[in-house]
């Protein structure tokens, strides 16, 4: 059982990591979605494995790497929020 402070820290870190992950997906878009199938598979595999390892190292420092469904939910919320912000900024820059 985690105490409330640890749960809140896990939620905040997961949310921020979702934003971080979405930001780096946007930056790495050229490499993740290139035409060469073999390179795309290799780069995607390395990208995902690296990000998962970074996330688990951070969570290990906070709560001994205990993964809860709400932390995955917060990663998804952070990812979607950053994606929407990216679209709004891109729309305003194009104008």
List the chain domain ranges: 4-94
Q: What's the pLDDT tens digit per position in 53-85? A: 999 999 999 988 888 889 999 999 999 999 999
**Is the separation of the CB atoms in 74 and 8 below 8 Å?**
no
Residue located via tokens 């992950």: 21
Q: What's the pLDDT tens digit per position in 22-44? A: 999 888 887 778 778 888 888 88
Helix (H, G, I), strand (E, B) or coil at 67: coil
Alpha carbons 64 and 8: distance in angstroms, whole number: 15
Residue located via tokens 């709004």: 88
pLDDT higher than threshold 80 for residue 94: no
Alpha carbons 32 and 9: distance in angstroms, whole number: 31
**Is the separation of the CB atoms in 24 and 51 below 8 Å?**
yes
Higher pLDDT, 95 or 92: 92
- What is the pTM assigned to this prediction? 0.85
């Amino acid at each position: 059982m985690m105490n409330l402070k640890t749960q809140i820290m896990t939620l905040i870190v997961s949310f921020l990591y979702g934003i971080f992950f979405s930001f780096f997906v946007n930056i790495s878009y050229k490499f993740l979605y290139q035409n060469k199938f073999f390179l795309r598979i290799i780069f995607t595999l390395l990208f995902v494995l690296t990000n998962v390892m970074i996330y688990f190292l951070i969570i290990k420092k906070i709560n001994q790497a205990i993964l809860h469904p709400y932390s995955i939910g917060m990663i998804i919320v952070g990812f979607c929020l950053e994606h929407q912000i990216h679209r709004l900024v891109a729309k305003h820059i194009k104008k």
